[in-house]
A = this chain, B = another copy of it.
């Protein structure tokens, strides 16, 4: 089908020809269509049968320009191609954690998928102190299944190169990450966020810290050149929708083959950013404790499930049957997971800094109107980034991570901040 931008008037005809969608929505008149997107990049519509709220789908379409800026700001629709491919891959790998796809169309840059009405965006709920009982466990499972099963441990090399080939040209979005995650925040750049006290601290600390900057480059190099597994590549708390039972991962347009630690480090960083923000949002440390326990659960569950998958696998592209003795294989697995932890902590440090200093902040902190309060929290995040980057290859277990982070926060000095809004 030739590309055209869909709207409320043309959607009924478009979806009418798609049996799977008709199956969900039912036949005939009586559909309602609402635009529900945030309007920045894509069009997102909810389509449902009036009187039957269970009969509902979400239709997402990319347009060839930055929607918030208009047609004068062109942007290719390729991002939807990669989101479609990643969602299909994830539907095979982890159907319980991603919306069911009813229809996809790379030509039209359209996805039609399951509605998530009973779920909220995790970032905003976390600001309000909502507890998601399964979230750490779910994210850990998601990470283990997706990373193991698209790695050289879980996939035949030829199949893996063919899957990789579907994502290799996601170059525009990879470039955004190269620049906005791994470059601009650590130097003076016009795109950066600005808050005077925070800027001053950044200038006096990380931006003149050689080892810190060379550490960032180590992780930038991994991002640019390591193809361990299929990554979501934008796995923050705004890409999660959850309720007390379920967790869904959405918005996978950045997907590509990258280093193991990237998704893990990024999502843990977002839990830590929320932790920091709750010096302001909470009146005591109970929610912060929950956040840290869940962040640790992400890793623990990831590690457990990753090793289970490995144990149940015989020969792999990486380790042929008979190459190692049982004892050697156990040693190899231990070192392998330890390396992933090291890299995850390095990427976590990058995310903490870039979400503090770069253009894309987190609402957890950027939405606090008092600049002085905000800068205190921002400086905490920069210091935590420094600490984790300097320690990333010396923290060998998740328990060492916990004690490092707890000690760090316990020594945090928030002179002027009351633990109340």
Type the 1/0 row for A144-170, where 1 means its CB is closer than 8 Å to any CB of B: 000000001000011001101100111
Q: Per a CB cutoff under 8 Å, which of B157, B164, B178 touches A178?
A: B157
A224 contacts chain B at the CB level, 8 A cutoff: yes
A186 contacts chain B at the CB level, 8 A cutoff: yes
Chain A interface main SS type:
helix
Interface residues of A in 164-189 (CB under 8 A from B): 164-165, 168-172, 174-175, 178-179, 183-184, 186-188
- How many copies of this chain are found per oligomer? 2
A27 contacts chain B at the CB level, 8 A cutoff: no
A328 contacts chain B at the CB level, 8 A cutoff: yes
A2 contacts chain B at the CB level, 8 A cutoff: no
Q: Is the CB of A171 within 8 A of B178?
A: no
Interface residues of A in 106-155 (CB under 8 A from B): 152
Please measure, in the bound complex, the distance between the C-alpha atom of A132 and the C-alpha atom of B324, giving whole angstroms.
Answer: 42
Q: Per a CB cutoff under 8 Å, which of B161, B172, B214 touches A335?
A: B214
Q: Is the CB of A174 within 8 A of B187?
A: no
Q: Is the CB of A157 within 8 A of B175?
A: yes
Given known A228-B225, A323-B213, contact A171–B175 (CB-CB < 8 A): no
Q: Per a CB cutoff under 8 Å, which of B157, B174, B217, B228 touches A332?
A: B217
A318 contacts chain B at the CB level, 8 A cutoff: yes
Chain B residues in 8 Å Cβ range of A162 = 169, 171
Q: With contacts A178-B317, A210-B324, A214-B335 known, what are 4 further pairs, Cβ within 8 A?
A: A158-B172, A183-B323, A187-B323, A214-B331
Can you give 14 contacting A-B residue pairs, CB < 8 Å?
A: A152-B225, A157-B174, A157-B178, A157-B224, A161-B170, A183-B323, A186-B323, A210-B331, A213-B328, A214-B328, A214-B331, A217-B318, A225-B227, A226-B227
Q: Which 7 A-B pairs have the closest CB atoms?
A: A161-B171, A158-B171, A152-B224, A210-B328, A183-B320, A165-B168, A225-B227
